[in-house]
Amino acid sequence: MKIALFATCIVDGMYPSTARATVSILERLGHEVVFPPGQACCGQMHINSGYFKEALPVVANHIKAFDTTDYDVAVAPSASCVASVKHQQPMIAERAGDNGLKQRAEEVGARTYELSQLLVDVLGITDAAAQLGSWFPTSVTYHPSCHGMRLLHLGDRQLDLLRTVEGIELKDLPSADQCCGFGGTFSMKNAEVSSAMLEDKAANVTSTGASLCTGGDASCLLHIGGGLSRTGAAAGTLHLAEILASTREHPYDAGTSFGATAEVAR
């Protein structure tokens, strides 16, 4: 299968190892990964803030990048960005009165998956240790992101994959379904409320005694990681993809590239 990687802004700019880990997992399964070169922002931040007019060219650019590339499915290590592609982009095109763009957006959205969706629903991965070789002998707790739960309805896909990683010690997170307080521009426009929510989340992570908090959205993990560091907590954060990519032969370390070799689509 040919799979197009939608890296997302925050992963591309701040957590490239998450994108490399995603590619490593898919190549390990024998799939070809391509990178549509015209991709940029999906427009989620604009849309969530109500800037629908400004979002239109951003949305159009994403659709152009992904409907002119030869691939079977697209994947992103981000539930929030995939939710935007599937739910928000067609809405923006419709509001602009562009039915052609709306149809193209729906077609792109139908082929776009969050990483755990792709692994479980399309590729049939149910045992990370047996099928991916995942090995991660560390205590970990899991934060499910709001968009993953409420827009993509991921359920326990991410958690079930984590449960099957060899060596992992998975600790339940109290009030796991409580928002971390990030919410994109919400954390800037409503800083005091966001900080209070983050304080609760960081305290719950710390209470588990886990060394790491993981999840499927780099934005949430960035926010939670900042909250943990400000309290002096020993715990850090790490994306689900990097845990799944870690093996006995090539275990995770902070500087690993996971040997990704994704080719740029032409």
DSSP 175-196: TTTS--S-TTTHHHHTHHHHHH
Tell me: the pLDDT tens digits for 25-84?
999 999 999 999 999 999 999 998 999 999 999 999 999 999 988 999 999 999 999 999
pLDDT greater at residue 64 or residue 262: 64
pLDDT band at 266, cuts 50/70/90?
A: very low
- 93: three-class secondary structure by DSSP: helix
Q: What is the C-alpha to C-alpha distance for residues 129 and 118, in angstroms, rounded to an integer?
A: 17
Cα separations (Å) of 12 from 78, 109, 141, 218, 226? 12, 20, 25, 10, 19
Look at residue 261 and tell me whether its pLDDT is greater than 70.
Answer: no
In order of start, what are the domains of the chain with their CATH numbers? 2-123 (3.40.50), 128-245 (3.40.50)
Look at residue 184 and tell me whether its pLDDT is greater than 80.
Answer: no
pLDDT for 254: 63
Look at residue 259 and tell me whether its pLDDT is greater than 50.
Answer: no
pLDDT for 89: 98
Amino acid identity for residue 251 in this structure: P
pTM of the model: 0.92
Mean model confidence pLDDT for the chain? 92
